[in-house]
Chain A
């Protein structure tokens, strides 16, 4: 019996060993790759462009592109256009979940597991974090070898906000900025002749919001509907004026008087009924773009993509405007925080973009792909669907963002709004004075920023439901934020 147990034990040990070898084989399989052209990260030092650039440009290389939601006809066309322009570069789009959060989780797992990746699609904050972790190659050195390609001249002053430790690690293909939309007819009906413009202050906006609020229940018209269903998003209005999340000493900056003022202003608006509360927006999953289009809001603040979504809701979902917009509306700059602040300031966010993995064997080719996807593709496609960071886009091409729409049934609309909507957005884009970003002054750990934002979200309910006053609220969030910011 004892001998049999000994044999069984040996068999069990062998099986476990087999399992461990299996795991090792699986993980090393990705490192070495299935084809000769895939990058091999093992043993490679952190890249510098001159070490790893392909020495034979005619040699066909394969780039592995980490991205999500790339299965659209437009992207497929872009990839086909790139392949035509660069026959020596093959791009393989890696298979990641089609959901933003799931994509990032899967991307982190892939990077941690040393999977071969050449180009990564990501947002600005993620790019900053990955740059500090050594996951991305600095693009300045690669651009220098490309006839001294001037990144800032081609992508604008928004690139100041895309730097990490003074270098570029990713190129955004779009920029994101907020716009104030207002219903001109409602202003006229209420006898308000001073329409919002770049000089409007937050107080003036609040006063107008109260005047423009009418009705109850199903007939309610809000004077103003904020665009983002989180309390910490209200601080965007002061971020535009240069407010920073952290002070010089690295502690949270929630005791800044502007924080108190913005929260107090919005509490007053929520309590007066002129603006739906954040809690209501969360519970009802309110989309202020729909509320505005259906004439239940006189003003909204939301990003530039608003008229694009209106096209989807109007042409495909047939939610409203079957015969075109049934009221006059305009777009303008966000309000200034107060009349001491300069107009047109905004913390313009570089949006989604691309970076080169520090383990890529083909950084030069990866750079070509990035340049194409952030600039060239806009010039060659029929229409564009984002506000490019690329500065040299023509007015005609820019107008297609809003006026060109392909319905689900394949019908193409070429003049959804006429020339005004696109012209107003282009004017805002060209006139915006980007605020110097947090990243330029003091890179903030994304984890810490998330933790501080969570503190505001959790504690804000007590203030906005009237359980505590503003001073206690500010003290509480500052104290809690200091605790979570210590890492």
Chain B
């Protein structure tokens, strides 16, 4: 009897709990799960976004086989892979800034705000300023380069060799402040006694950083790495505003390709296929990272 009462009470508690999260669960089911399933289904069809669903034809794996034969897919994937190079630069810079800000730097509170500002500012506004800075003829960057004697400075976003580095620089500039703040919080959470012990043992600054700071902020580094990887593969809005995938195909990325295929070229079935392939790529990389973290992340 007592056991039965206990089970009933436990069940009531569980039901109450589920009722509390029911609104969120419905939202998740409708807007996330349903959308995911729907996009998976239409990736096997020839839906053109605006046509009636009753006219949609099931095409099996035709979309996927066409994707793997599509030059634009491979170029986009290559460009996405290239943009991964910006991640270690971003992480390193953020860590350096965080270490510097953690020490005695004049005006460090103001500097924190300055570094964080690009992250919270509207992207369209930033891009207008960025375009002005890097204007090939009238921008201050090229004016400065000309004053240094470089008679033909890069055309930046108008040059297929420089467009990717320029976009990567933009990405680093907008996100380094956010990562710096995360690192700073992690560094400030490290027990000071560890550093004091290290000082007593005669450890150098480098030694303290390598043997204390870096291992203890490794979970934060892992978190930033995952965020950066996902963000890098998902980027498209900055590409759309800055270069629209050009010059040539030099900045064509998968996210932008999905958008173009779905909403400009009206091949939503195909675009969904690319989106699912991108999802699998990201999941694959995450799984690899998850396994490798055992070697270098210390909790």
Task: Point out residues on A near B: beta carbons under 8 Å.
Answer: 3-4, 7-8, 11-12, 15-16, 18-20, 22-23, 105, 108, 111-112, 129-130, 133-135, 279-280, 283-285, 445-448, 450-451, 454, 457-459, 461-462, 465, 467, 483-484, 487
Say if the beta carbon of B266 comes within 8 Å of chain A: yes
Provide the bound-state CA to CA distance between A283 and B132, in Å.
Answer: 7
Q: Does the CB pair A447–B7 fall under 8 Å?
A: no
8 Å CB interface, B85-112 against A: none
Q: Does the CB pair A454–B51 fall under 8 Å?
A: no
Specify which of B25, B128, B158 is in contact with A15 (CB 8 Å cutoff).
Answer: B25
- Closest chain A residue to B7, Cβ basis: A4
Cβ–Cβ < 8 Å partners of A19 in chain B: 25-26, 29-30
Distance from B128 Cβ to chain A, minimum over Cβ atoms (Å): 8
Sorted nearest first, the 3 A-B pairs with minimum C-beta distance are A458-B246, A461-B247, A447-B266
Specify which of A7, A22, A130 is in contact with B50 (CB 8 Å cutoff).
Answer: A130
Cβ–Cβ < 8 Å partners of B52 in chain A: 111-112, 133-135
Q: Does the CB pair A8–B14 fall under 8 Å?
A: yes
Distance from A450 Cβ to chain B, minimum over Cβ atoms (Å): 5
Q: Does the CB pair B247–A111 fall under 8 Å?
A: no
8 Å CB interface, B144-178 against A: 155, 158-160
Cβ–Cβ < 8 Å partners of B7 in chain A: 3-4
- Closest chain A residue to B137, Cβ basis: A280
Given contacts A134-B55, A279-B158, 18 further A-B contacts (CB under 8 A): A4-B10, A4-B11, A8-B14, A11-B15, A19-B29, A22-B26, A23-B29, A23-B30, A112-B49, A129-B50, A447-B48, A448-B265, A451-B264, A459-B247, A461-B246, A462-B247, A467-B159, A467-B160
Q: A105-B263, A135-B50, A457-B246 are in contact. Are A15 and B18 (CB under 8 A)?
A: yes
Say if the beta carbon of B248 comes within 8 Å of chain A: yes
Distance from A211 Cβ to chain B, minimum over Cβ atoms (Å): 23
Q: Does the CB pair A462–B248 fall under 8 Å?
A: yes
Cβ–Cβ < 8 Å partners of B18 in chain A: 11-12, 15
Q: Does the CB pair A16–B29 fall under 8 Å?
A: yes
8 Å CB interface, B265-284 against A: 265-267
Provide the bound-state CA to CA distance between A263 and B26, in Å.
Answer: 55
Provide the bound-state CA to CA distance between A112 and B54, in Å.
Answer: 10
Distance from A469 Cβ to chain B, minimum over Cβ atoms (Å): 15
Cβ–Cβ < 8 Å partners of B260 in chain A: 451, 454
Cβ–Cβ < 8 Å partners of A465 in chain B: 155, 158-159, 247
Give the one of A18, A111, A279, A284 with max B CB within 10 A: A279
Provide the bound-state CA to CA distance between A401 and B77, in Å.
Answer: 51
Q: Does the CB pair A450–B264 fall under 8 Å?
A: yes
Provide the bound-state CA to CA distance between A12 and B131, in Å.
Answer: 52
Provide the bound-state CA to CA distance between A483 and B22, in Å.
Answer: 49
Q: A22-B26, A451-B264 are in contact. Are A458 and B244 (CB under 8 A)?
A: yes
Cβ–Cβ < 8 Å partners of B298 in chain A: none
Say if the beta carbon of B245 comes within 8 Å of chain A: yes
Provide the bound-state CA to CA distance between A130 and B48, in Å.
Answer: 11
Cβ–Cβ < 8 Å partners of B51 in chain A: 133-134
Say if the beta carbon of B53 comes within 8 Å of chain A: yes
Say if the beta carbon of B249 comes within 8 Å of chain A: yes
Q: A22-B30, A447-B267, A454-B260 are in contact. Are A283 and B246 (CB under 8 A)?
A: no
Provide the bound-state CA to CA distance between A20 and B30, in Å.
Answer: 8
Q: Does the CB pair B265–A450 fall under 8 Å?
A: yes
- Closest chain A residue to B252, Cβ basis: A458
Provide the bound-state CA to CA distance between A284 and B132, in Å.
Answer: 8
Q: Does the CB pair A451–B265 fall under 8 Å?
A: yes
Distance from A131 Cβ to chain B, minimum over Cβ atoms (Å): 11
Provide the bound-state CA to CA distance between A465 and B55, in Å.
Answer: 46
Cβ–Cβ < 8 Å partners of B71 in chain A: 483
Cβ–Cβ < 8 Å partners of A23 in chain B: 29-30, 34
Q: How many A-B contacts if CB must be within 8 Å?
A: 105
Distance from A42 Cβ to chain B, minimum over Cβ atoms (Å): 11
Say if the beta carbon of B135 comes within 8 Å of chain A: yes
Q: A19-B25, A19-B26, A283-B131 are in contact. Are A458 and B264 (CB under 8 A)?
A: no
Distance from B276 Cβ to chain A, minimum over Cβ atoms (Å): 20
Cβ–Cβ < 8 Å partners of B246 in chain A: 457-459, 461
Q: Does the CB pair B247–A458 fall under 8 Å?
A: yes
Specify which of B34, B55, B132, B265 is in contact with A447 (CB 8 Å cutoff).
Answer: B265
Provide the bound-state CA to CA distance between A108 and B49, in Å.
Answer: 7
Specify which of A16, A448, A454 is in contact with B244 (CB 8 Å cutoff).
Answer: A454
Distance from B241 Cβ to chain A, minimum over Cβ atoms (Å): 11
Q: Does the CB pair B267–A487 fall under 8 Å?
A: yes
Distance from A300 Cβ to chain B, minimum over Cβ atoms (Å): 21
Q: Does the CB pair A283–B135 fall under 8 Å?
A: yes
Q: Does the CB pair B25–A454 fall under 8 Å?
A: no
Specify which of B25, B34, B158, B244 is in contact with A457 (CB 8 Å cutoff).
Answer: B244
Provide the bound-state CA to CA distance between A15 and B266, in Å.
Answer: 36
Distance from A468 Cβ to chain B, minimum over Cβ atoms (Å): 10
Distance from B98 Cβ to chain A, minimum over Cβ atoms (Å): 35
- 19 residue pairs of the A-B complex, CB under 8 angstroms, read A7-B14, A8-B14, A11-B15, A23-B29, A105-B263, A130-B50, A134-B52, A134-B55, A451-B260, A454-B264, A458-B244, A458-B246, A458-B252, A459-B247, A462-B248, A465-B155, A465-B158, A467-B159, A467-B160
Provide the bound-state CA to CA distance between A18 and B135, in Å.
Answer: 56
Q: Does the CB pair A458–B22 fall under 8 Å?
A: no
Q: A19-B26, A451-B265 are in contact. Are A133 and B50 (CB under 8 A)?
A: yes
Provide the bound-state CA to CA distance between A446 and B55, in Å.
Answer: 19
Provide the bound-state CA to CA distance between A105 and B158, in Å.
Answer: 30
- Closest chain A residue to B161, Cβ basis: A467
8 Å CB interface, B215-269 against A: 244-249, 252, 260, 263-267
- Closest chain A residue to B50, Cβ basis: A108
Provide the bound-state CA to CA distance between A459 and B128, in Å.
Answer: 23
Cβ–Cβ < 8 Å partners of B11 in chain A: 4, 7-8
Cβ–Cβ < 8 Å partners of B29 in chain A: 16, 19-20, 23
Provide the bound-state CA to CA distance between A461 and B71, in Å.
Answer: 20
Provide the bound-state CA to CA distance between A482 and B172, in Å.
Answer: 37
Provide the bound-state CA to CA distance between A461 and B251, in Å.
Answer: 13
Cβ–Cβ < 8 Å partners of A105 in chain B: 263
Cβ–Cβ < 8 Å partners of B34 in chain A: 23
Q: Does the CB pair A447–B264 fall under 8 Å?
A: yes
Give the one of B10, B50, B55, B249 with max A CB within 10 A: B50
Cβ–Cβ < 8 Å partners of A8 in chain B: 11, 14
Cβ–Cβ < 8 Å partners of A448 in chain B: 265
Q: A4-B7, A112-B49, A283-B131 are in contact. Are A459 and B248 (CB under 8 A)?
A: yes
Distance from A485 Cβ to chain B, minimum over Cβ atoms (Å): 10
Distance from A480 Cβ to chain B, minimum over Cβ atoms (Å): 9
Chain B positions 15 through 49: 1 when the CB is less than 8 Å from some CB of chain A, otherwise 0: 10010001001100110001000000000000011
Distance from B197 Cβ to chain A, minimum over Cβ atoms (Å): 47
Distance from B65 Cβ to chain A, minimum over Cβ atoms (Å): 14
Provide the bound-state CA to CA distance between A18 and B27, in Å.
Answer: 12
- Closest chain A residue to B160, Cβ basis: A462
Distance from B284 Cβ to chain A, minimum over Cβ atoms (Å): 28
Distance from A68 Cβ to chain B, minimum over Cβ atoms (Å): 16
- Closest chain B residue to A282, Cβ basis: B131
